[in-house]
Structures are given as C-alpha cells and as structure tokens.
Structure 1
Amino acid sequence: MSFRKPSRRHMLLAGSGGLIAAALPGTAHAGARTARAVEPDIDSTSQWNARPPRSAPRLLNRRPTKIVVHHTVGPNTSDFSRAQAHTHAHWVQDLHMDDNGWLDSGYHFLVSRGGWITEGRHRSLSTLRGGSSFVLASHTSGQNEQSIGIASEGAYHDGAQPPAAQWDVLVTLCAYVCGQYRIAPTQIYGHKDFGTTLCPGVIHDKLPQLRSQVAASMG
C-alpha cells in the first residue's frame, strides 16, 4: 500500500496534543459559540476500497444534533498502520452487511488504534464537508436520524484504554464534526446513553474529558 506525504492527521497530532484551534466562528445548537476546526485526514470509502452499498444511502437534508461514540469490539491490535485501519474498516463493513443485513457500514466514521480515520457509510465524508446534511446510518437505535456515529477500533470493556494516537484523533474528528454541523461539544454521547449496552466501554467514562478537549480545541 502506498503512503502519501505527511498528512493533516500527522500535523494535527504534532501540535498541542493533537488539537488545533479553530478559525471560523459558528453557532452551536445549545446556543454557545463554536468554531470550525481543521479538517483531519479521513480516508474515504474509495481509498480503502469499500464494497458498494446494497442501495444508495438515504440523505437527510438537515444537520445532526449530536455525536454518538462507539467501540467496535474488535481485537486490541498493536498494528497501528494505515493498512490495518483499512482492514478494520472492511471487517466492520462485512460484519454489518453480511451478519446484520444492513445496506452498508453502520457507522459514519471509524478511528483506528493507530489514529487513522476511515469513512464508514458511503457519502458520510462528502456530506460532512458540506455541513448542511448527513446520511442516515445504523449505529444507535432511536438516534440514527439525529446523530453522527463514530466508532473506535478495539474493545474497551475490561479497563483497556484507547492508545494516545486514537484518542487524539477522536478529539480532532469530533471537533471537526461539531464545527461543520454546529453541534455543541456537550452533545457528545456514548452508545450506552441510549440503550442497554456496554458500548463504548471505558470510553464512556472519558466522555467528560472528550467534551472538554473538543471544546478547548474549538476555542
């Protein structure tokens, strides 16, 4: 697999614990002022050679109001490469399409243990960049028409902590999503907030930290 020149992901991680201050002001749903964060490096479905969806994703012509964080309960691999991030994206898509019978990956985005971001459901990246619509995904019952689903590679039920690169890029991605869609960082939740599940494991306990770091990165 070929690698590009140093990307925005690496530049983001190089400064202030992976955080870049935002530049353009916006308005959060909660009434607080937000800003548009720098776009992280996100590998699109074409870049990781995703399977085509069974049908076209449904476009919702409005902004989501929250982010829901998950973990994928895959192995806590020590392979932090971009190739592994792509392998993981394939694993999730195959699981959701073949075992769950869904039209595509259930998540909008995935963050690998090595800090690589991949687009999950097709058109999630293009709509995020537009900032005024999003695609309906299948990550949280009762919340799919209102939220962006972001999943972290790995299993965090038993006290395991996400690697630093994964955490830093999760912060950066959430900041970018909040800025693009004018979501207040207080509106970042975990899957277990909306159902009987342990997901996202110990990451749920770190949600106050995640919200705080996202808010700080957005100024």
Structure 2
Amino acid sequence: MSAPSLVAMLLADARLPTGAHAYSAGMEPALTGGMPPDQARELLCARAVTTSQVEAATAVAARHAVLTGGSSAAVQDAWAARTPAPAVRDASTAQARGYLRLARRLWPELPVGALPARPCRAVVLGAIAAVAGLPAVDLVRLVIYDDAATGAAALLKLEPRDPVETTGWILDACAAAEPTVASLAAVTDPAVVPAAGAPHSEMWAQTHARLNQRLFRA
C-alpha cells in the first residue's frame, strides 16, 4: 500500500485522537434546530455538494500554496468569506489545532510559518497533504467522506438506528459529490473556491452554539 493511501486512511479515521469526535458536522445543530431525523440522509447529501465543496477546494488550494512555497493566508481569507457563521469558523479553527498538533509530531517539516495565525481545518489538511504526498484528488475525496462520516456517526449517538443504514448514506453523499471531484482537485487560485453555502446550516450552527446542553460542539 502506498504512503499517500495510508495518510488518507489515517486522516479519514474517526478514531484519530485530534478531538474530531467532539464534532457532528452540523448533524446535532440540524436536529436541535428542528430537522426530522428521517431527513438526515438528505442533509449528508446536501452538505456533500455545498459546504463540503468549499472545504475540499480550500484544502486543495492550501496544498497548492504549500507546494509552491506560497502563503495560505489568501486561502484562509477565501474560506472565511464563504463561511459566514462565526460558530462554524470557530469550530473549524478549534479542530485545526488538533490536526496541527498531530502534524507537528508526524510531519515536522510542515511549514507552520506559512500558515495563518488561526488556520481553519481545511487549510491544515491541505498543508498536511502537501508534506505527506497526498494527491489533490484523494484530498478532495477525503474531505467529502470525512464530513459525511462524521455526520453519520453523530446521528448514531443522537438518534440510534442501524449503522448499516447510515453507512449507505455515506456512500450516497460521496456519490453525489463525485462529479465535482476533478474540478475541485484542479483548484489553485483561492478566488475560484466554490461559494456553495448552506444558509440554513449556518443558522442552525449559530443557534446551537448558544445552547447550554449539547453533546457536540458543532
């Protein structure tokens, strides 16, 4: 098995101890916001062609910036402009700290100085992909899969059901995004990162951030 394949498997593993288990990829905010649990599959598929597109393209652009010796500050700015909810941005930067801690131990050659002061998760994943030799296409699929798998795993804790069913939903979400993988993998300019927002999810996230009782941070 190739080293890039192993890196992709490592980063896509929910057991990776970086704190990702504390996030639901918008699933808990959606449920507490009033979304019926029976619409969870639709949520996963919708995110795969909206917010996950932004995350994947941001990661690819950050990868390109690191590989070409540039700064990922412009990439971070493009991501922030397409992620208007402060709660979503805060959750992403918190996750990024865990990934950055991992990267510093496993890939000490990571150019931390080229990253923004408070990078988002997608920028850190892009930097890891650059130093670990993960191809852009694999990075795109990793980001999309991880979002769907995180949401599905969270649902099993919030609204228990047959895990086989939710596994099928992950495949459906990845299939929904597959036609866009090649174009996302070709992104080099932060200006062309898709502006595929999900306003309802952003609203749910903001409301969820103010709750006193919640299982997941976001």
Common topology (TM > 0.5): no
Bigger proportion of residues as helix: 2
Bigger proportion of residues as strand: 1
Q: Provide the TM-score with structure 1 as the length reference.
A: 0.30
Q: Provide the TM-score with structure 2 as the length reference.
A: 0.30
Question: Quick one: higher RCO (CA 8 Å, sep 6+), 1 or 2?
Answer: 2
